Chains A and B, each alone.
Chain A
Amino acid sequence: MSISNLQLTDGTTTVQLDSSGSVAFLGSYQGRSESTSYVPRATSLPENGDWSSIDLDDPRNALAESFVLTFKGGTTVAQGNLTTVKQLLAQAGRRRTNKAVPAVYAQFRARDTDAYSRSELLGGTVQESERTFGPLWANGVIEARISWIRRPYLEDAEVQLPLTNGNGTNNISGLTVWNHDDGDAGHDNYVEIAASAITGDLPAPIRYEFVPGAAYRYVHQLLIAHNVYGSPSTFTHMLEYTGSVDATASAANYRRTSIGTGYTEFGTTLFSEAQLAAMGGNYYRVIARFNALPPSGITAYFQFTGHGQTPVLYRSAPVEVSSTFPMQILGTAQFPPSTFPSFAARMMFLELYAKRPAGAANLDLDYVFLVPLDSYRLITVGKTSPVHEVADDMISDYRYSVKDVPEAVPDVTAIGASIMLVPNRLQRLYFLKPSTGANVNAIADTATVKVYYRPRRLSL
């Protein structure tokens, strides 16, 4: 079987490489026994079957393909189209060192009625057949072998994903997320994507648009986390702490603890077997939100303990708690630790400890956010002027923010790999702005989110 339609395009210039374009057809002239058809190759499965273990976007994993093409329509037309192919292949090579150059794609479809799938080219060569400068030229035909390297996957057309949380179901107009997540209706900082919404057979990156509410346009940092393997619908990602009342705190409550010169416990949560099963031994980052800026000179850590809060199953390394930032990363750990096997009656405590050698002071813990790390990304926006939108396109690897004017400014940098949606699995994306102003994290901030992706597959 061969491809019915094959074209090269950079979005502006398109060359049809099959008979539908009346300028070329796949295969050699007059049926010579060269490679007479083209079928997109599929890359080999990794040995362990885990696609996340290799980087498909690493050029060293690119696919190399070669096939014969015949250009017709007279030598002038054929030569012109062949030149266009050469120029597009050269452009694909230049893009590898300069992202400002438009990407070049090979687009395929098995039938005229199908939609095109695309694969980005990374470079290529054209070699004219030796027969070209003899009888073929006289017949207005050029026969050439095209060799190129491309991404080892195909992408379908971009699709906007229906999103769900307490503020809407299957929303595509922009779903509201809050800057905290408590029991109040709609106060969700996540969006859920149904399993059926993600097609294809490979994990695929996303493009999202984060639009802050009109009164909440300060965006200096934005955290995006992804949960696909940790039972997203049953996993409790926010742990609230109570004892003191404050309407500006998540769940209107926080816990105040006087931290001494030796380590003092300032938060404890019991995980049930159900929660432990939901977390499933995956890795989570522990982020604490403090209702007031912590005093200076505090060091904190967290630990897991077993039944009766002994023995210690895991302890994180102590970290210095910032006194100028309302949220603090306490560490990353496997929840539960791998040495804690599944058992119907098991329980595990998460305990937080802090000390202040310079003298006792109050520490006000609002909540702990257990951040899933199936994918994780921390965005920083370069300027602090009002931000109307943060756009992070992990498909094309562009990021920018839209400011007041409005104007798009490429002042967004990211730490972390791309968020990769997994086909046929329910998953959640979590959003959080750690800072909503100078030394402030306001829980009342809201934003709307849209998410897009391109289904990826190994082959047609």
Chain B
Amino acid sequence: MSMLNTYIYQRDLSGNRVDLPVCYEVQSHSCQALGGNKAARITITSGNRFAIWDHIELLRCPVELYNDRGECVWWGIIYEVEIVENAISIGVSLESMSNDVAVLYSLIEAGTHSAGQRRITAHASNADSVAEYGYKELQLAGGGMTAVAADQLRDTHLAAVKYPIPVRGVQAGGRSSAKATLHCVGLWQLLAWRFYTNIATTSVITTSQIEAMITAYNQFFTGVDIETASGVAQSQQRDGDQTVLEEVRALLETGTTNDRRLLAEVTQSRRLRVYEEPASGVSDYWQLRDGSLRTQYDTELPQSACVAGVWARLKDVVPASVDIVKLANPAFAFIEEMEYFPVSGERRVRFRNQRDPFAFSSSDERERNKAIALGLINRSFSYMTLAAGESLTIPVGQQLIISSEYTIDGSLTVDGELIIL
């Protein structure tokens, strides 16, 4: 077992610490090949009651996790805070917030009933929320309506969701002093906060497009480092229906002329680093028969750290007698994600083409996903409806739990798992 130390900093990215008299315990942290640090879950095990409740105010504050050697093993932001005291739970999440809203609608001209041209309203934003958290954009699906109604829908929705909205729960019989859980995400996730539009039609190298996207819509990164040019050109025109994250991910997946993906990570100094997926070879890590991993130099992994975006080669498992002429060599597997649990010291690995073990999570995780899912549907789309023209994708490895009250008229793509209660 190795313990990690949690350090929280002020939201303004000044680097000044937020030092509250509480004890943190890191439950898990994870990283992924596409994006670097993925998530971390931190519980507050004890401390001053007022200081515990102060964490409600720390959304989007940077977080760093250090091991006892003073190495930073994970960095990101606080995305969600849950506090439970006796029978009451309060949850607040950046997921529920949007401070820059536009409405997608089909125009109904005055005096007519027919929905015609697809339109989008001008964006409206709340300056205070933007100054505090940065832009978090939402494109709301409005169905068929007049331009005036669309503008009003935009303004009404913005007023409701410009700040994170607390969600209250009641656990009958609950009797505990204040406890809190911080759910953190990697900085990569912040690319999903803005939609990308480009009206230029010329073809540009995809890695140059990535650099341009980040530069144009940058809020939190200090720079972009393209270590490998893709060599692949495509049209740079984008109609603004996708977030920067979705656009960048698509270009990374397109890959390079070496037939390999591009990978990305956000460094501790908030630089986005884009590089070519390594080929299997001298940089491969080793996996032993007990499941443990060692570096390419056959040394231990850094204490409490996760690693992804590398190949892992079985060291002493597959007998030489196995005939692998007509299948991919089972001794080699690419690490897509890794999650580390400091309390137990366990590392959980997801290899490429492997079903996501994180989807089959604990009942606590399932309840959390359910709460978030309900909130997401309620706040990102109109009134528990996936309307015509709206789309939602459940990605591989993710779970969405909805009730039968939901109306799905739009496009629901299930790459992961959909559970209808």
Which residues, 1 to 43 on B, are CB-close (under 8 Å) to A? Answer: 1, 3, 5, 7, 16-17, 19, 21
Q: A41-77, CB under 8 A of B: which get 1 and which 0?
A: 0000000000001010001000000000000000000
Q: A326-363, CB under 8 A of B: which get 1 and which 0?
A: 00000010100111000000000000000000000000
Cα(A59)–Cα(B300), bound, Å: 30
Chain B residues near A382: list those with CB within 8 A: 16
On whether A413 and B17 interact (CB within 8 A), knowing A332-B302, A339-B297, the answer reads: yes
Contact, CB under 8 Å: A415 / B271: no
Contact, CB under 8 Å: B70 / A376: yes
Contact, CB under 8 Å: B17 / A417: no
On whether A97 and B71 interact (CB within 8 A), knowing A314-B297, A337-B297, A415-B7, the answer reads: no
Cα(A33)–Cα(B32), bound, Å: 64
On whether A334 and B299 interact (CB within 8 A), knowing A413-B19, A415-B5, the answer reads: yes
Cα(A362)–Cα(B302), bound, Å: 32
Contact, CB under 8 Å: B299 / A377: no
Binds A, one of B46-54, B113-121, B240-248: B46-54
Chain B residues near A337: list those with CB within 8 A: 297-299
Cα(A315)–Cα(B295), bound, Å: 10
Which residues, 252 to 271 on B, are CB-close (under 8 Å) to A? Answer: 267, 269, 271
Contact, CB under 8 Å: B71 / A315: no
Task: Select one of A285, A312, A334, A415 contacting B66, CB under 8 A.
Answer: A415
Q: B392-417, CB under 8 A of A: which get 1 and which 0?
A: 00000000000000000000000000
Number of A-B contacts (CB under 8 A): 62
For B227, the closest partner residue in chain A by CB is A357
Task: Select one of A96, A312, A338 contacting B300, CB under 8 A.
Answer: A338
Chain A residues near B316: list those with CB within 8 A: none
What is the CB-to-nearest-CB distance from B154 to chain A, in angstroms, rounded to a whole number?
Answer: 41
For B64, the closest partner residue in chain A by CB is A415
B128 within 8 A of A: no
Contact, CB under 8 Å: A339 / B70: no
B346 within 8 A of A: no
Contact, CB under 8 Å: A313 / B267: no
A131 within 8 A of B: no
Which residues, 16 to 60 on A, are CB-close (under 8 Å) to B? Answer: 53, 55, 59
B68 within 8 A of A: yes
For B68, the closest partner residue in chain A by CB is A417
Chain B residues near A373: list those with CB within 8 A: 69-70
Chain A residues near B16: list those with CB within 8 A: 382
Task: Select one of A59, A312, A332 contacting B69, CB under 8 A.
Answer: A332
For A374, the closest partner residue in chain B by CB is B69
On whether A332 and B71 interact (CB within 8 A), knowing A98-B48, A416-B66, the answer reads: yes
Contact, CB under 8 Å: B68 / A416: yes
Task: Select one of B48, B49, B70, B299 contacting A338, CB under 8 A.
Answer: B299
What is the CB-to-nearest-CB distance from A312 to chain B, in angstroms, rounded to a whole number?
Answer: 8
Q: A377-390, CB under 8 A of B: which get 1 and which 0?
A: 11010100000000
Contact, CB under 8 Å: B70 / A416: yes
Size category of the B interface is 20 to 34
For B300, the closest partner residue in chain A by CB is A338
Chain B residues near A377: list those with CB within 8 A: 70
Chain B residues near A53: list those with CB within 8 A: 1
Chain B residues near A59: list those with CB within 8 A: 46
A128 within 8 A of B: no
Q: A271-309, CB under 8 A of B: which get 1 and which 0?
A: 000000000000101000000000000010000000000
Cα(A157)–Cα(B230), bound, Å: 66
Chain A residues near B298: list those with CB within 8 A: 337-339
Contact, CB under 8 Å: A285 / B69: yes
Task: Select one of A97, A315, A417 contacting B46, CB under 8 A.
Answer: A97
Q: B264-303, CB under 8 A of A: which get 1 and which 0?
A: 0001010100000000000000000000000101111010
Cα(A53)–Cα(B68), bound, Å: 11
Task: Select one of B69, B269, B271 contacting A283, CB under 8 A.
Answer: B69
A111 within 8 A of B: no
Count the A residues whose beta carbon is within 8 Å of the partner chain — how many? Answer: 30
Cα(A373)–Cα(B67), bound, Å: 11
Chain B residues near A299: list those with CB within 8 A: 225
Chain B residues near A55: list those with CB within 8 A: 3
On whether A320 and B269 interact (CB within 8 A), knowing A332-B69, A413-B17, A415-B7, the answer reads: yes
Contact, CB under 8 Å: A97 / B48: yes
What is the CB-to-nearest-CB distance from B265 to chain A, in angstroms, rounded to a whole number?
Answer: 10
Task: Select one of B1, B3, B297, B302 contacting A313, CB under 8 A.
Answer: B297
For B21, the closest partner residue in chain A by CB is A99
What is the CB-to-nearest-CB distance from A158 to chain B, in angstroms, rounded to a whole number?
Answer: 24
What is the CB-to-nearest-CB distance from B85 to chain A, in angstroms, rounded to a whole number?
Answer: 13
Which residues, 315 to 335 on B, are CB-close (under 8 Å) to A? Answer: none
Chain B residues near A320: list those with CB within 8 A: 225, 267, 269, 271
What is the CB-to-nearest-CB distance from A420 to chain B, in angstroms, rounded to a whole number?
Answer: 10
Chain A residues near B295: list those with CB within 8 A: 314
What is the CB-to-nearest-CB distance from A122 to chain B, in angstroms, rounded to a whole number?
Answer: 11
Cα(A347)–Cα(B271), bound, Å: 37
Cα(A417)–Cα(B269), bound, Å: 23
Chain A residues near B48: list those with CB within 8 A: 97-98
Chain B residues near A376: list those with CB within 8 A: 68-70
Which residues, 356 to 407 on A, are CB-close (under 8 Å) to B? Answer: 373, 376-378, 380, 382
What is the CB-to-nearest-CB distance from B223 to chain A, in angstroms, rounded to a whole number?
Answer: 9
On whether A285 and B70 interact (CB within 8 A), knowing A98-B21, A315-B297, A337-B299, the answer reads: yes
Chain B residues near A339: list those with CB within 8 A: 297-299
Chain B residues near A417: list those with CB within 8 A: 5, 68
Cα(A378)–Cα(B64), bound, Å: 14
Chain A residues near B267: list those with CB within 8 A: 320
Cα(A59)–Cα(B271), bound, Å: 39
Cα(A132)–Cα(B295), bound, Å: 67
Which residues, 88 to 111 on A, are CB-close (under 8 Å) to B? Answer: 96-99
What is the CB-to-nearest-CB distance from B4 to chain A, in angstroms, rounded to a whole number?
Answer: 11
Chain A residues near B46: list those with CB within 8 A: 59, 96-97
Chain A residues near B297: list those with CB within 8 A: 312-315, 337, 339
Contact, CB under 8 Å: B66 / A97: no
For B282, the closest partner residue in chain A by CB is A312
Among B7, B49, B71, B295, the most chain A Cβ lie within 10 Å of the Cβ of: B71
For B3, the closest partner residue in chain A by CB is A55
Cα(A331)–Cα(B66), bound, Å: 14
Chain A residues near B269: list those with CB within 8 A: 320
What are 24 pairs between A and B in contact, CB < 8 Å?
A53-B1, A96-B46, A97-B46, A99-B21, A283-B69, A313-B297, A315-B297, A320-B225, A320-B269, A337-B298, A338-B299, A339-B298, A373-B70, A377-B70, A382-B16, A413-B17, A415-B5, A415-B7, A415-B66, A415-B70, A416-B5, A416-B66, A416-B70, A417-B5
List 4 other contacts, CB 8 Å, given A59-B46, A283-B69. Answer: A97-B46, A315-B297, A413-B19, A417-B5
Residues of B within 8 A of A (CB): 1, 3, 5, 7, 16-17, 19, 21, 46-49, 66, 68-71, 225, 267, 269, 271, 295, 297-300, 302
Enumerate the 9 nearest inter-chain pairs by beta-carbon distance, A residue then B residue, closest first.
Answer: A376-B70, A416-B70, A373-B69, A417-B68, A314-B297, A413-B17, A97-B48, A339-B298, A337-B299
